[in-house]
Each structure stands twice: as structure tokens, then as C-alpha cells.
Amino acid sequence: MSVFERIKGDGYEQVVFCSDDHTDLRAIIAIHSTALGPALGGTRFFPYNSEQDALVDVLRLARGMTYKAAAAGLDLGGGKAVIIGDPKRAKSEELLRSYGRFIETLGGRYITAEDVGTALGDMDTVKRETRWVTGCSHTYGGSGDPSPVTAYGVFHGMKACCLEVFGTPELEGRTVAVQGVGKVGYALCGHLTEAGAKVTIADVDVDNLARAVSDFGVATTDLAGIHALDADIFAPCAMGAVINDDTIIDLQCKIVAGCANNVLERDEHGDKLMGLGILYAPDFVINAGGLINVEDELRGYDRERAMTRVENIYKTLQTIFAASRERGVSTATAAVEHAQDRIRKISRIRMIRTAEFGPASIR
């Protein structure tokens, strides 16, 4: 399938292939939508098996960012970038700076941040060649690692879920099964245990597992059984597609709410969860804390303001749950409609002519 065939019909604006022989850079930047503002999304550095795989991934992730920003109420569009290669071997100062120069050529239509395979320090390096980067380290006036903020947002999102299902937002005494205690899952365990929840965790990484057990006194279970635990909340905080044909029949929880991206393997799994009476907190809504945090950095970072804005995830989820109830659609569908509705409405007001003169306005 050609690139144009692949992006046709899904509203993608621009796909940029970046190649630099000197540094061996091979990157793809996908801008899905700038209807609400510049396209913001992280740079994934990953050893894709093929260019096709990289393209499919970057397109899917870019579209997800459009919805995430729109649902979070941000004036941002959706984009994403991938660098093809093994970050442990291929990453170098010159490669990252070369990549930064390509971002600069887009003149602010795309703003990058860290993602899988890239870290804060990498963003500091990219920033030496372009202004269009956020999520930098504190040393460079940035907001630092967004993961704890993502966890804070998930924690508040879980409260909205509890209110919807149990009639009270309190997490005290609630049982929560957390799959993956990496950067976000670990911080989430901290909030949950502090709030008096009973937490059970599973992780493939024994060091991460031991750290959470030692710091928070959480219980552990086996990897294969975490999703099937008889808990109030199942929190996927590792990888995507964990709600699929095989796992959905095992679920005993009342709520699925975690930080992982693309939790549902297919859209229809959202309907299936609804059919089973399990409340699903749409991933791109509940895990938007990190995005809200790096967006705040673009304004001149204020931690307190960022955290307050992240708490709004609670209200956004309430709106989505209400729409789901009223219209009899899954929460996953209601979330996409919520985001699309905002894009439509704000795009419409942008059609009002203002006193901005330039080539576009005098055409």
C-alpha cells in the first residue's frame, strides 16, 4: 500500500521522511492535525522490523495525539515522530541534533517531546537545534519527567470512575490490580496506597517489582493473572492491546483504568466491556497528564498550574461517562466523539476573520 493510500480518508496533513547519510538518521514525522494548534507528540526511537512498521506506528500514534490533546482541552494538534534504530546503539549527539534540524524546518507545525526510547537528556540535545521541543530537563528550564504527572492524572481519573460505579470517588479500601510498575505505574502505586487502596502488582522486571513492594508494601501476583484478579480496578500500565479477545473473558473487575496507550486491541472491545458492565476509562483521556504537563512547559512551566489542570481529567471523564450513559454508546466511542466535537467547534470559530494579514488572508 502506498503512503498516500494509507493516509487517505483519515485526515492526515503531512508526513515527513527525514534522512541524513552523515548520521544515519532515518526518521518519520507524521502530522495528523493542526486544527487546534501545532501538532505535539513524542519521538519514539525504536528498532522497527521494517519501514512499513514504522510508518504504521507513527500514523496510528499521531492520530491518537490529536484526540488526546482535543479531549484534554488543549490548543494543540496531533503528531508523532519515529526514529528507526536501536536507541542503545544508534543514538548519538549528532543524530539527535540532525533530527532537531529537520523539526526546525517545519517551523513549529510539529513540537516534539520524549517517548519510548528517548529521554529527557535527548530532548535537551534536540533543543540545541530547534525551539520546537518540550519536556526538557529542569536544568534547561524544562518540566522534567512527565511520568509522575501522568500518574497523578490517572489517580484522579480513577476517582471519577469510582464515583460513576460506586457512587463515591474515595479510593480507600478499593482493590486495584496494577499491570506494570515502571515510571507511571510506580508513581500511581504511591498515590493509591497513600489514599488507602489495596494494591496488587505484576511486572516482568523483577527490580521494578521489588522497588514497588519495598516502597509501598503492595502485594504481587503472577504476570498471567493480573488482569483476571478479583479487584475493583484493573490498571494497565505496561503495554497496549491488553484488553483483547483472550483477556476480556477473564476480567472480574468493575473498572479498567490505567496509563497504557491503546489499551483496547480493537474498537469493538470498548462495546464488549460495556456489555459486561465494566466501566472503561478511555486511555487517551485518563493518561493525558504528561501531555498537559509538557504543554504547560511551552507557556513557561508552572508546576502548580500544571497539576491543577491535570486534575481536570476527573471532570472530563465525568462528561464522557454522562455522554456514554445518555446516548447508550461505549465510553471509548463517547471519548472519540467528545474530541471530534471540540475539534469541529473550535475549527469553526477559527473561520472568523481577525486582523491577521498575510498571504493566507489576502488570497
The distance of Cα 125 from the centroid of its chain, to the nearest Å, equals 23
Intra-chain end-to-end CA distance of the chain, in Å = 36
Those residues with Cβ within 8 angstroms of residue 191's Cβ, 6 or more apart along the chain or in another chain: 151, 152, 155
Of residues 78 and 97, the one with the C-beta less far from ligand NAD: 78
When CB distances to ligand NAD are compared, the closest residue is 182
CB of 220 to ligand NAD, least distance (A): 11
- DSSP states of 29-62: EEEEE-SSSSEE--EEEE--SSHHHHHHHHHHHH
The DSSP symbol for 287 reads: T
Which H or E run contains 199? Answer: strand 198-202
- The burial class, CB within 10 Å (0-12 / 13-18 / 19+), for 363 is exposed
CB of 247 to ligand NAD, least distance (A): 11
Of residues 78 and 102, the one with the C-beta less far from ligand NAD: 78
Of residues 25 and 145, the one with the C-beta less far from ligand NAD: 145
Q: Is residue 80 flagged as an active site residue?
A: yes
Measured CA to CA, the distance from residue 18 to residue 334 in angstroms comes to 36
Q: Partners of 26 in the beta sheet?
A: 19
* Residues 41, 91 contacting (CB under 8 angstroms): no
CB of 347 to ligand NAD, least distance (A): 25
CB of 57 to ligand NAD, least distance (A): 12
Of residues 34 and 143, the one with the C-beta less far from ligand NAD: 143
Measured CA to CA, the distance from residue 227 to residue 17 in angstroms comes to 39
CB count in 10 Å sphere of residue 260: 22
Query: What does the binding site for ligand NAD look like in residue numbers (CB under 6 A)?
Result: 146-147, 150, 179-185, 202-205, 208, 223, 237-239, 259-261, 287, 290
Q: Cα-atom radius of gyration of the chain, to the nearest Å?
A: 20
- The burial class, CB within 10 Å (0-12 / 13-18 / 19+), for 296 is buried
- The burial class, CB within 10 Å (0-12 / 13-18 / 19+), for 246 is exposed
CB of 191 to ligand NAD, least distance (A): 14
Largest CA distance in the chain: 65
Of residues 223 and 346, the one with the C-beta less far from ligand NAD: 223
CB of 285 to ligand NAD, least distance (A): 11
Annotated catalytic residue, options 68, 80, 159, 272:
80
Of residues 31 and 238, the one with the C-beta less far from ligand NAD: 238
CB of 182 to ligand NAD, least distance (A): 2
Return the sign of the alpha-carbon dihedral for residues 315, 310, 40, 261.
negative
Give catalytic residues, as residue numbers.
80
